[in-house]
Amino acid sequence: MHPILFILILSLICSAVLSVMIGNLWLFLSMFFGFVFIFSILLWLFFALLSAIIPKGKYYSKPSAFYLWNLNLAYAFVCGGAGAKIRTRGLEKLPDKPFLLVSNHLSQLDNMIQSLVLRKRKIAFIAKEQLFKIPIVRGIITRCCYIPIGRKSTKSDRHAIEIAEDYINRGVMSIGVYPEGHRSKDGQLQKFQAGCFKIALDTGCPIVVSAVIGTDEVHKRFPLGRTEVRFDIIDVIDPAGRKSVEISEEIHEIIKKYIEENKK
Q: What is the pLDDT of residues 118-144, one digit of tens each?
A: 999 999 999 988 889 898 999 999 999
The phi and psi torsions of 262 (rounded to 5 degrees) equal -115, -5
* Sign (positive or negative) of CA dihedral 197, 138, 159, 128: positive
Q: What is the pLDDT of residue 153?
A: 54
Q: pLDDT at residue 151 above 80?
A: no
Q: What is the pLDDT of residue 156?
A: 62
Q: How confident is the model at residue 152 (pLDDT cuts 50, 70, 90)?
A: low
219-237 pLDDT, tens digit per residue, is: 888 877 899 999 999 999 9
Q: pLDDT at residue 24 above 80?
A: no
Lowest mean pLDDT among 88-102, 141-155, 240-254: 141-155
Higher-pLDDT residue of 132 and 152 is 132
- Mean per-residue pLDDT, 171-184: 93
Higher-pLDDT residue of 58 and 154 is 58
**CB of 144 closer than 8 Å to CB of 67:** yes
Q: What is the pLDDT of residue 49?
A: 95
Lowest mean pLDDT among 84-93, 144-153, 205-214: 144-153
Nearest to 93 by CA among 224, 231, 246, 227: 231
Q: pLDDT at residue 1 above 60?
A: no
Q: What is the pLDDT of residue 262?
A: 85
* Enclosing H/E stretch for 147: strand 147-149
Q: What is the pLDDT of residue 184?
A: 82
Buried b (16+ CB within 10 A) or exposed e, 67-101: bbebbbbbbbbbbbebbbebebebeeebeeebbbb
What whole-number distance in Å separates Cα of residue 240 and Cα of residue 247? 10
Q: Is 56 helix (H, G, I), strand (E, B) or coil?
A: coil
Q: pLDDT at residue 177 above 80?
A: yes
